């Protein structure tokens, strides 16, 4: 079930209800934010090649995925709707600010989230980020830093 996509643009209570129906949402793990267009992943041009998955962010939490992902969803929706002329404050402030900057170009209806349970989310996030960089030559567009665990550098010696 961890491969289910959750549509970001929902009323927060409805989103949280859908999220909590996923068994993995009560544990720690990683989450991924995707950019779709017309219901399909949007291909994103990257440094080495194109990413057909539409992946724009990889995050992790050592707390319940339901809390962190709900904060992400709330940050994105709040910054889509804000009329204040500046980013709306939220529980996932950095992502909210990143989305605020490009909200006129990426419609909130085109954003989806996946969650993945993992007992070692820091390692899982690092592995996902390093594999992405190995394949595409750079981090996903909304990621500003690498994971917190030392990567397997031999991946880049090939």
In terms of residue numbers, what domain contains 83?
6-152
Number of domains in the chain: 1
Would residue 94 count as lying in a domain? yes
Residues of the chain with pLDDT > 90, as a percent, come to: 71
| Rounded distance between C-alpha atoms, residue 25 and residue 64, angstroms | 6
Residues 6+ apart with CB under 8 A from 14: none
* Tokens coding 74: 């709330």
| 157: in domain | no
Report if residue 158 sits inside a domain: no
Let me know if residue 35 belongs to a domain: yes
Domain annotation covers residue 144:
yes
**pLDDT band at residue 92 using 50, 70 and 90 as cut-offs:** confident
pLDDT in tens, 6-21: 999 999 999 999 999 9
pLDDT at 2 over 80: no
- Between vectors from CA 74 to CA 71 and to CA 7, what angle results, nearest 5°? 105
By three-state DSSP, how is residue 9 classified?
coil
- Asked if the structure places residue 134 within a domain, the reply is yes
- Dump pLDDT digits (tens) for 93-142: 788 888 988 899 999 999 999 999 999 999 999 999 999 999 999 999 99
């Amino acid at each position: 079930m961890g491969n289910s996509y959750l549509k970001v643009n929902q009323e927060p209570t409805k989103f949280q209800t859908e999220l909590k129906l996923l068994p993995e949402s009560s544990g720690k793990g990683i989450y991924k934010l995707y950019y779709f267009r017309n219901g399909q992943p949007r291909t994103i041009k990257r440094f080495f090649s194109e990413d057909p998955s539409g992946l724009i962010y990889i995050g992790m939490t050592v707390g319940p995925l339901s809390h962190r992902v709900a904060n992400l969803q709330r940050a994105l929706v709040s910054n889509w709707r804000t009329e204040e002329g500046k980013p709306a404050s939220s529980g996932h402030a950095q992502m909210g600010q990143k989305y605020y900057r490009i909200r006129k170009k990426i419609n909130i209806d085109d954003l989806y989230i996946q969650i993945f349970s993992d007992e070692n989310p820091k390692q899982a996030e690092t592995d996902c980020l390093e594999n992405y960089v190995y394949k595409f030559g750079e981090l996903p567009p909304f990621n500003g830093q690498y994971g917190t665990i030392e990567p397997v550098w031999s991946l880049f010696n090939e």
